[in-house]
Amino acid sequence: MLAIETQKLSRSFKGKPAVSSLNMHVPNGSIYGFIGQNGAGKSTTQKMICGLLHPDEGKISLYGKSGDDAEIRSKIGVIIESPALFPNASAYENMMMQAMNLGVSNPDKKIKEILKLVGLSDTDKKKSKLFSLGMKQRLAIGQTLLGDPRLLILDEPTNGLDPQGIIEIRNTLQKINTEQGITILISSHILGELSRIATHYGIIKQGEMIEEIDKEALREKCKEYMTVHVSDTHKAEGVIRLALEGKHEIEVTEDAVHIHHYQDGEKINRLLVDNGIYASEIKQHKMDLEEYFLAAMEGRTHA
């Protein structure tokens, strides 16, 4: 079952498209990393999904129902702009005010549970204005949890955080996902961070979804390859192809030949030397999410 599905979602600002015919598929229970450069259309897409912005065209389904369905909408927790906290109130008091707004029954117990979950149990009377940015973000996430969401939509929640803050948010989100089964849509351009928690990815470029891929498929695609740096890539490619008899996928870039799933550097070196080719470097390489993302941006991942 899909938590979110968009079909041909589009939105322009003053005639300039921000999101174009975007199809997104967020499976229930997933942590979906929504990746794209500045201005790619991440926030615009997320705002339309949460109903903060009206699409020009297209359809949004949440758990198989129309995005306009009020009941479904009440099951979505959203943090898009920076969190609105009462600066002179403690974590508990901020949570209590939100609980009152939402009419949560038995709020004390619930607040204590959530504060534990987001790692803010021991902040006592400390005013939220004295919190680090990461603590404020976790408090905001805690507030959204008061509404028992099935789905959390977070727009760059690690923006501006230091490495420790990023790790804490990451752990919190992972816990929320595994312990409470909450689906999380999270946008970011800190790719390395997403790769530790995301189960699915969507890559957006200039308003268009250029690829959706799950963790396993990404791992498969990011498998190791050997990079052989040579000046005459064309000649080297021919020699290597002949010797490997089509057993390995071979790719040629400007200054190197890539051999997928292959380790024997000595053999390749000898082969090249025997053919009068000298490699300046031969090394093993593993693509990570960041490289995959850049390759996807340049349209190289389907090659």
Ligand X SMILES: Nc1ncnc2c1ncn2[C@@H]1O[C@H](COP(=O)(O)OP(=O)(O)OP(=O)(O)O)[C@@H](O)[C@H]1O
Q: Which does 18 bind (CB under 5 to 8 A by kind): ligand X, Mg ion, none?
A: ligand X
Return the number of the residue (35 or 230) whose C-beta is nearest Mg ion.
35
Q: Does 137 bind Mg ion (CB under 5 A)?
A: no
Which residues are CB-neighbours of 14 under 8 A, at least 6 positions away?
none
The SS3 assignment for 149 reads: coil
Tokens of 32: 């979906």
Q: Which does 105 bind (CB under 5 to 8 A by kind): Mg ion, ligand X, none?
A: none
Residues 30-69 that bind Mg ion (CB under 5 A): 42-43
Return the number of the residue (208 or 249) whose C-beta is nearest ligand X.
208
Tokens of 155: 């727009």
Q: To 5 degrees, how large is the angle CA 33–CA 35–CA 39? A: 140
Return the number of the residue (44 or 195) whose C-beta is nearest ligand X.
44
Q: First vs last Cα of the chain: how many Å apart?
A: 30
Applying CB under 5 A, the site for Mg ion has a residue count of: 2
DSSP label of 122? G
Q: How far apart are CA 214 and CA 157, in angstroms?
A: 21
Q: How far apart are CA 54 and CA 166, in angstroms?
A: 31
Q: How far apart are CA 157 and CA 164, in angstroms?
A: 14
Minimum CB separation of residue 64 from Mg ion in Å reads 27
Radius of gyration of the chain (CA): 24
Give residues in contact with ligand X (CB under 6 A). Answer: 13, 18, 36, 38-44
Return the number of the residue (41 or 157) whose C-beta is nearest ligand X.
41
Return the number of the residue (172 or 187) whose C-beta is nearest ligand X.
187
Q: Which does 78 bind (CB under 5 to 8 A by kind): Mg ion, ligand X, none?
A: none
Residues 74-103 that bind Mg ion (CB under 5 A): none
Run of H or E residues at 229 = strand 224-229
Minimum CB separation of residue 169 from Mg ion in Å reads 17
Which pairs from 177-180 meet CB under 8 Å and 24+ separation?
177/29, 177/31, 179/117, 180/117, 180/145
Minimum CB separation of residue 48 from ligand X in Å reads 10
Q: Which does 86 bind (CB under 5 to 8 A by kind): ligand X, Mg ion, none?
A: none
Return the number of the residue (13 or 278) whose C-beta is nearest ligand X.
13
Minimum CB separation of residue 42 from Mg ion in Å reads 5
Q: Which does 165 bind (CB under 5 to 8 A by kind): Mg ion, ligand X, none?
A: none
Binding positions for Mg ion, rule: CB under 5 A: 42-43
